[in-house]
Amino acid sequence: MFLAFLGFLISVEAKVYFAEQFDYTWPQRWKYSTAHQEENKAGKFTWERPPKYYHLEASKGLKTSQDERYYHISADIGETVTNFRKNLFIGFTVTQTQDIKCSGSYLKFFNEPFDQENFNGDTPFELMFGPDTCGSINDQVHAIFRHEGREQKSRARIRSKDDKETHLYAIKLYANGSYVLQTDIKKENWGEFQDQWGNWYTPRFVEDPDAEKPEEWDDREEIPDPKDIKPADWDQPKYIPDPNATKMKDWNDTVDGEWYRPIIRNPLYRGEWIQKTIANPMWMGPWQKPRVPNMQLTEEKERRQSIWFRYVAIDIWQVQSGTIFDNIFIGDDEAEFDAFFNATFKKQREVEEPGWEAEELRRQADRKVRDKKKRDEKLQKRFDLKHDDEEDVEVPQGDEDDEFYLNDL
């Protein structure tokens, strides 16, 4: 296991449970399941790096190599991992080397008892996390927990990445009951755990029902501008008697009544005066009730609803293969999480495209040379079979380019 990143300074409390970069010793840690081997439906992994990262020695991962196969392989972390009253950060990278139309690319996490040699897709997991693509309906990043025998899916709808870049998928569970679902460096979804995974979860912390906003708390984001003063002549009536109107000559007050000027809209009327506002320099933000430990959450209940696992596994069905799994991290310190993926994922993504294109052109040229050599050998062999009897010599029927080669024979 390549663990150079562990040379970074870490706190005494930090715990890295598992950090897999799939160096040449990976078979010592990962064990295949025998599931689906009898019906020849069990897929094999190859040890490869993404084409774009051909010159990064540490970028190799496990690549699914056969279409329409089940893939079952797992590793023992060595100890039980939990988020019971602590943080838990899980991340891994995925690279698709061909267009994926229906294939899972997620990880599963299992607790004891667990049979590494015989587990399959029906084996109950503790957490299933990662991308899954199978048409437009089921194209998402799964985040499924198991609680008391039931699978609890997240309400978040996060689309999986369908390009051929390497992508980071991460789930962060915090001790205060909050979470973050992340792809690459972007927070896709975050909030309170119970809001995302259902009513079965009793929160560790709740708002203090007795808390009241302090009188001095200023939550006004904007305030009236004290420098903005209403002009003295602002207040004008909306309608006024028409100053240009004159009493008609034939108007008879006795018969027609008292004459009044007609009412018109006042051209000086400017409506209600509204004082301008400015940012409140004393703004303290929206007040929120402080969170306190939930007295209804017993230690036993908290243990049961926490996640516990000891094994990490790839347990998928793929119609199209070519997925590379790499850089699996499980730990309880976010600084270590960042350090690990800065040294792996970030380094991979910084590889320039022209370097990959040049290497790909070189590989294509090598393939053409090999193909030409094979065709030449094939044509020479077929020609030699007729060489002993010149009267029976016939032009061999070959591929499109055979005529060019035959002219040289």
Q: What is the dihedral of CA 18, 20, 24, 29, to 10 degrees?
A: 40
Domain final residue pick, 351, 367, 396? 351
Residue 391 lies in a domain: yes
Model pLDDT, residue 3:
41
Model pLDDT, residue 55:
63
Residue 320 lies in a domain: yes
Model pLDDT, residue 404:
33
Residue 120 lies in a domain: yes
Residue 243 lies in a domain: no
User: Is residue 23 domain-shared with residue 89, that is, in the same domain?
Assistant: yes
Residue 267 lies in a domain: no
User: Is residue 101 domain-shared with residue 83, that is, in the same domain?
Assistant: yes
- In single-letter form, the type of residue at position 172 comes to K
Residue 241 lies in a domain: no
Q: Which residue segment(s) compose the domain that 380 sits in?
A: 356-406
Model pLDDT, residue 402:
39
Residue 198's Cβ-count burial label (10 Å; 0-12, 13-18, 19+) is middle
CATH value at residue 110: 2.60.120.200
Contacts with 173 (C-beta within 8 Å, 6 or more apart), sequence order: 83, 87, 88, 89, 179, 193, 307
User: Is residue 386 domain-shared with residue 334, that is, in the same domain?
Assistant: no
Q: Strands (DSSP E) along 216-356, which ranges?
A: 222-224, 239-241, 263-265, 277-279, 291-293, 308-318, 323-331
Closest CA to 19 of 345, 350, 351: 345
SS3 170: strand
User: Is residue 323 domain-shared with residue 367, that is, in the same domain?
Assistant: no
State the number of CA atoms in the 13 A half-sphere of 279 facing the CB. 3
User: Is residue 87 domain-shared with residue 114, that is, in the same domain?
Assistant: yes
User: Is residue 177 domain-shared with residue 89, that is, in the same domain?
Assistant: yes
Domain final residue pick, 351, 367, 395? 351
CA dist list (Å): 391 to 267, 387, 388, 394: 114, 9, 9, 9
- Spatial separation of the C-alpha atoms in residues 155 and 195, rounded to whole Å: 8
Residue 107 lies in a domain: yes
Residue 277 lies in a domain: no
Note whether 32 and 72 are within 8 A (CB): yes
Model pLDDT, residue 135:
66
With pLDDT > 90 as the criterion, what percentage of the chain qualifies?
Answer: 52
User: Is residue 335 domain-shared with residue 395, that is, in the same domain?
Assistant: no
User: Is residue 341 domain-shared with residue 367, that is, in the same domain?
Assistant: no
Contacts with 128 (C-beta within 8 Å, 6 or more apart), sequence order: 106, 107, 108, 109, 142, 143, 144, 151
- Spatial separation of the C-alpha atoms in residues 16 and 13, rounded to whole Å: 10
Structure tokens at 116: 């590494």
Task: Report the DSSP beta bridge partners of residue 131.
Answer: 141
Name the domain count of the chain: 2
Note whether 15 and 51 are within 8 A (CB): no
Model pLDDT, residue 136:
61
Gap between the terminal Cα atoms of the chain: 54
SS3 311: strand
User: Is residue 116 domain-shared with residue 194, that is, in the same domain?
Assistant: yes
User: Is residue 347 domain-shared with residue 372, that is, in the same domain?
Assistant: no
- Spatial separation of the C-alpha atoms in residues 215 and 118, rounded to whole Å: 64
Cis peptide before 113 (omega within 30 of 0): yes
Q: What tens-digit pLDDT sequence spans the chain (409 residues)?
A: 334 333 433 344 789 999 999 999 999 999 999 999 999 999 999 999 887 776 666 689 999 999 999 999 999 999 999 999 999 999 999 999 888 788 889 999 999 999 999 999 999 999 999 999 886 667 889 999 998 888 888 888 888 887 888 899 999 999 988 999 999 888 899 988 888 887 778 888 888 989 999 999 999 999 999 999 999 999 999 999 998 888 888 888 888 888 889 999 999 999 999 999 999 999 999 999 998 888 888 899 889 889 999 999 999 999 999 999 999 999 999 999 999 999 998 888 776 444 545 555 676 677 788 878 877 777 777 666 655 554 444 444 444 443 333 333 3
- Spatial separation of the C-alpha atoms in residues 340 and 270, rounded to whole Å: 63
- In single-letter form, the type of residue at position 19 comes to A
Model pLDDT, residue 361:
64
The predicted-structure confidence for 245-266, as pLDDT tens digits, reads as follows 888 888 888 888 888 899 999 9
User: Is residue 307 domain-shared with residue 379, that is, in the same domain?
Assistant: no
User: Is residue 199 domain-shared with residue 140, that is, in the same domain?
Assistant: yes
To the question of pTM greater than 0.75 for the whole model, the response is: no
